[in-house]
Amino acid sequence: MLAEYHPLPGAFDELLGANERLRATVEAMLDGRSSEEFARTQALAEAALLNQGVTFSVYSDSRGVEKIFPVCLLPRIISAAEWSRLERGLQQRVLALEAFVEDVYADQRILEAGDIPRAVVLGSAQYLPALRGIRPPAGVRIHISGIDLIRDGAGVFRVLEDNLRTPSGVSYVLENRLLSKRLLARAFEAARVRPVNQYPARLAAALRSVSPVSPEETTLVVLTPGPYNSAYFEHSFLARQMGVELVEAADLFVDDDRLFVQTIRGPKRVHVVYRRTDDAFLDPEVFRPDSILGVRGLLRAWARGNVALANAPGNGVADDKGVYPFVPEMIRFYLGEEPLLEQVPTYQCARPEERAYVLEHLSELVVKVVDEAGGYGMLMGPTSTAEERAEFRRRILADPRRYVAQPRIELSTCPTWVSQGQCIAPRRVDFRPYVLNSAGGPWVLPGGLTRVALREGSYVVNSSQGGGSKDTWVLKGEG
Amino acid sequence: MISRVADHCFWMGRYLERVESTSRVLRVTSSLVLDAILPPEQVWTSALAVSGEEESFVERNGVAAVGDGFRVTEFLTWDPAVRSSLARSVQAARENARSIREVVSLEAWEAINELHVWLHDGSGRTEWAVRPDAFYRQVRTWTQLILGAVEHTMLHDNAIDFIMLGVFLERVGQTARILDVHHHALMQLPADLVREETLWLSLLRACAGFEPFMKRKAGRVTPGEVATFLMLEPRFPRSLVFCLGEADQRLASIRSPGDEAFPPLRCQARLAALESFLASRRVPDEDLHALLTRVVDEIAAICSELHEELFQAPQRAWSPVRGEQLRAEA
């Protein structure tokens, strides 16, 4: 089926640009399969996801419609050597980000030193001054992070953005792996892939490690906004896999700065909350008073050290896209090291010269709002209309701090099953590895979520906008 | 166990039982109407009355439509506006299960979800239009599969107790209503027809009681025997006393007698009272309608006690005294 495979000009193709072993793996997988056969296997995978209810909700009406996150069975493959470079770079990055959040909510040494402009940090909508001076249980704030990476035209991995609040998607990593093992068993076995199913146990251990009481006595819960949340499947999945209870805000209450869950036998103390509710909704006493997703007094209980919240409130200041350009500075400042991972060059519209450049080159750049996620609020310059550019020009001039711009990177491509054409064609991908941080230091899951832009020519990989996913095979060492 | 989770378990059980009961009643009624000595409108009225939807059906479709089996079954199977329709009960069972995905076992969840997908992607509807009998049989088989998966793949802890509590309390209500409605309708017939066996046998079939009844009663089909069997047969899993006994046992496993830390439950006392009241009746001598109405009302009262005592939201149920105890432990 690969005879007709032609890479896109300008993009790094992960099959053709790969070493012998990777290419051999993909070829072995396709060996002897007709496209009809592959189509059948693909259909089986999609039916399995639908029957198992592995879905996300789309808010087209108030009830939400459930859809499956389309999956392409052809995996994305990362060699052992590539992985070990990435792993070190990710650990370094998370340690520096952790030190930065700690510092911002304490002495603000990095701002004193002038390495990052004060206005960029303190002007972030995600900076929560009310939290200054609070040190969370065990001192950990970024328990779970998802760092989005892309590969440029030369095949170099670059960090595109950090997700330090409630990164999602890890359930698809685990579900996609089950599909690979079930439907591509022989190729999977031959490739010698590192496992990912230890994630839930690692997550539970990391969360228990920051408990105010001993891990054995700890009651850990997952807090979800509820079944209509787009990531509800993942919330219930993680609770199930960790063997802990999934709670909604209405199940919880705070008394005497301690957190309790209401059970049929009365209140029971809770020590660690893996919360998947946004900061703004966590505690109506501190943030949005209209929130029904929050628990009154939760932040007081947290500030007193009686409950650990993962991730800690206030982390958004470090994954703000306006702060992103300064992460290399953080690595130098806190760790005294040179960054191991590349970033994407970024223009800050807050700076007059850079703003002028951005406004002149709107049709070449990708413009992003600093505090939006999910691919919303973006201008894709090269494919934009004149009206869209005029609109962004107005918005940038009205509130320059909220906008940054980056050159459009030619995302790397992977061989992907195209159901309309019943063939395999190159499609652009990105990559989100997951890092757990605990009292014992950061750990990187050997795998991650590869998202793929299924539409021909598209650069947008978000599930809400026509993206799909692939299993990511991190190979074991050669020996 | 978290109160909200207990609530979802209970309702998941109730809706599943309602799905099974509705599919059974519609299947039996569709078959009975083919050769019954009764006019079709009388047969279908009973089916509507059992689900409590007689009035709403007449309001929407007119009185003449009551004899139209297609319209009655479509109404009770598919209508999303009908509270007890089969499609809506499946939807509700699935939504409850989805709200407690971390509690329901994967295999039980998959079975519920596959039934939901089958009803929603058009394939269930096609089957219903072409082979209604096979459709209802399929739905019934599916609910049995779901409850089997619950029983045999989930931890036997409080979650399953609440699911089965929901199943048995719903079943008490269903059996009582089916018996009440049919008994009432049949007793209106001329004396020679009342003894017509096929009618009483179809009543037994609607409660899956045909074969068990024959085994127990050696083929003596009389109105009094049928009613006694459906109410008081201790070994028949859909009789009133059997279901009450099971519900009682589930409650006892949720709060074992003598558990000091867990205050006694009013719903439990009330359930036990209903059980012993029923056991002391001699059915053929009673006013059956009054008796069954009392059962249905008591079940409703027990369910609202359950809600207040076990499923209530936290802030209101919080007692400062018990809080002190908890603080001492923590």
Contacts across the A-B interface (CB distance below 8 Å): 96
Contact A246 B100 (CB under 8 A): yes
| Least confident residue range of A144-148, B82-86, B103-107, B186-190 | B186-190
CA closest to B307 among chain A residues: A264
Q: What is the mean pLDDT of residues A406-415?
A: 92
| Least confident residue range of A30-39, A445-454, B125-134 | A30-39
Residues from chain A that touch B3, judged by Cβ atoms under 8 A, are 251, 262-264
- Confidence grade of residue B285 (pLDDT, cut at 50, 70, 90): low
For residue A413, give the H/E element and its range: strand A413-418
Residues from chain B that touch A262, judged by Cβ atoms under 8 A, are 2-4, 312-314, 317-318
> Can you give the length of chain A in residues?
479
My answer on whether omega of the bond before A306 falls inside 30° of 0, hence cis, is no
pLDDT value at B318 more than 60: no
Q: Residues A234-251: pLDDT tens digits? A: 999 999 999 999 999 999
Interface test with A, best of B1, B2, B259, B327 (most A CBs within 10 A): B2
Q: Residues A155-183: pLDDT tens digits? A: 999 999 999 999 999 999 999 999 999 99
Q: What is the mean pLDDT of residues A284-307?
A: 88
Contact B6 A267 (CB under 8 A): no
Q: How many CB atoms lie within 10 A of CB B273?
A: 12
Contact A233 B262 (CB under 8 A): no
pLDDT value at B92 more than 50: yes
Q: What is the mean pLDDT of residues A278-292?
A: 83
Contact B323 A255 (CB under 8 A): yes
Residues from chain B that touch A53, judged by Cβ atoms under 8 A, are 98, 101, 109-110, 113
Contact A51 B1 (CB under 8 A): no
Q: What is the mean pLDDT of residues A28-45?
A: 83
Contact B330 A264 (CB under 8 A): no
Q: What pLDDT does residue B327 have?
A: 30
CB contact A255 to B (< 8 Å): yes
Contact B106 A252 (CB under 8 A): no
Whether the ipTM is more than 0.85: the answer is: no
CB contact A227 to B (< 8 Å): yes
Residues from chain B that touch A258, judged by Cβ atoms under 8 A, are 327, 330
Residues in A 267-306 with any Cβ partner in B closer than 8 A: 267-269
The token pair at A28 is 């072995």
- What predicted TM-score, i.e. pTM, was given to this entire model? 0.86
- Confidence grade of residue B200 (pLDDT, cut at 50, 70, 90): confident
pLDDT value at B319 more than 60: no
Closest partner CB to B314 (pick from A50, A213, A262): A262
Pairwise pLDDT comparison (B284 vs B84), residue with the higher score: B84
Please report, for residues B96, B102, B234, B274, the alpha-carbon distance to residue B297 in angstroms, rounded to integers and kept in the order given: 25, 34, 22, 11
Q: Are A441 and A403 in contact (CB under 8 A)?
A: no
Q: What pLDDT does residue B137 have?
A: 95
Q: Which of A121, A143, A149 is nearest to A329 (CA)?
A: A121
- Confidence grade of residue A127 (pLDDT, cut at 50, 70, 90): very high
CA closest to B158 among chain A residues: A264
Interface test with B, best of A242, A262, A276, A295 (most B CBs within 10 A): A262
DSSP-assigned letter for residue A461: -
pLDDT value at A461 more than 60: yes
Q: What is the mean pLDDT of residues B21-26?
A: 94
pLDDT value at A212 more than 60: yes
Closest partner CB to A266 (pick from B102, B109, B322): B322
Q: What contacts A301, CB < 8 A, 6 or more positions away?
A: A254, A257, A258, A259, A307
CA closest to A235 among chain B residues: B102
pLDDT value at A286 more than 60: yes
Q: What pLDDT does residue B219 have?
A: 77
Q: What pLDDT does residue A61 have?
A: 43
pLDDT value at B226 more than 70: yes
Q: Which of B181, B170, B188 is nearest to B206 (CA)?
A: B181
Q: Are A359 and A351 in contact (CB under 8 A)?
A: no
Q: Are B228 and B283 in contact (CB under 8 A)?
A: yes
Burial B215-240 (b: 16+ CB within 10 A, else e): eeeeeebebebbbbbbbbbeebebbb
Pairwise pLDDT comparison (A91 vs B255), residue with the higher score: A91
Residues in A 52-111 with any Cβ partner in B closer than 8 A: 52-53
Q: What pLDDT does residue B198 have?
A: 80
Closest partner CB to B113 (pick from A52, A226, A236): A52
> Can you give the length of chain B in residues?
330
pLDDT value at B328 more than 60: no
Q: What pLDDT does residue A146 have?
A: 97
- Chain B nearest-CA distance from A202, in A, is 18
CB contact A246 to B (< 8 Å): yes
- Confidence grade of residue A274 (pLDDT, cut at 50, 70, 90): very high
pLDDT value at A326 more than 90: yes
- Chain B nearest-CA distance from A49, in A, is 10
- Chain A nearest-CA distance from B257, in A, is 14
- Chain A nearest-CA distance from B272, in A, is 20
Q: Residues A244-273: pLDDT tens digits? A: 999 999 999 999 999 999 999 889 999 999
Contact B2 A260 (CB under 8 A): no
Q: Which of B260, B247, B261 is nearest to B305 (CA)?
A: B247
Contact A262 B318 (CB under 8 A): yes
Closest partner CB to B326 (pick from A244, A251, A267): A267
- Confidence grade of residue A58 (pLDDT, cut at 50, 70, 90): low
Contact B117 A262 (CB under 8 A): no
Q: What pLDDT does residue B323 have?
A: 30
- Chain A nearest-CA distance from B328, in A, is 11
Q: What is the DSSP string of A349-381?
A: TTSHHHHHHHHHTTTTEEEEETT--TTTT-EEG
| Least confident residue range of A28-37, A231-240, A389-398, B18-27 | A28-37
The token pair at B35 is 């050769």
pLDDT value at B315 more than 60: no
Please report, for residues A125, A371, A392, the alpha-carbon distance to residue A402 in angstroms, rounded to integers and kept in the order given: 9, 7, 11
Contact B4 A258 (CB under 8 A): no
The pLDDT > 70 percentage for chain B reads: 93
Residues from chain A that touch B99, judged by Cβ atoms under 8 A, are 226-227
CB contact A464 to B (< 8 Å): no
Binning chain B into helix, strand and coil, the percentages to the nearest 5 are 80, 0, 20
The pLDDT > 70 percentage for chain A reads: 96
Q: Residues B138-176: pLDDT tens digits? A: 999 999 999 999 999 999 999 999 999 999 999 999 999
The contact set of B with A (CB < 8 A) is: 1-6, 95, 98-102, 106, 109-110, 113-114, 117, 158, 254, 261-262, 310-315, 317-319, 322-323, 326-327, 329-330
Pairwise pLDDT comparison (B314 vs B30), residue with the higher score: B30
- Confidence grade of residue A306 (pLDDT, cut at 50, 70, 90): very high
Pairwise pLDDT comparison (B262 vs B246), residue with the higher score: B246
Q: What pLDDT does residue A374 have?
A: 59
| Least confident residue range of A11-25, A428-442, B91-105 | A11-25
Q: What is the mean pLDDT of residues B37-52?
A: 89
User: How confident is the prediction for chain A on average, in pLDDT?
Assistant: 90
User: How confident is the prediction for chain B on average, in pLDDT?
Assistant: 88
pLDDT value at B235 more than 80: yes
pLDDT value at A1 more than 90: no
Q: What pLDDT does residue B313 have?
A: 53
DSSP-assigned letter for residue A212: S
- Chain B nearest-CA distance from A424, in A, is 29
Q: What pLDDT does residue A60 have?
A: 47
Residues from chain B that touch A204, judged by Cβ atoms under 8 A, are none
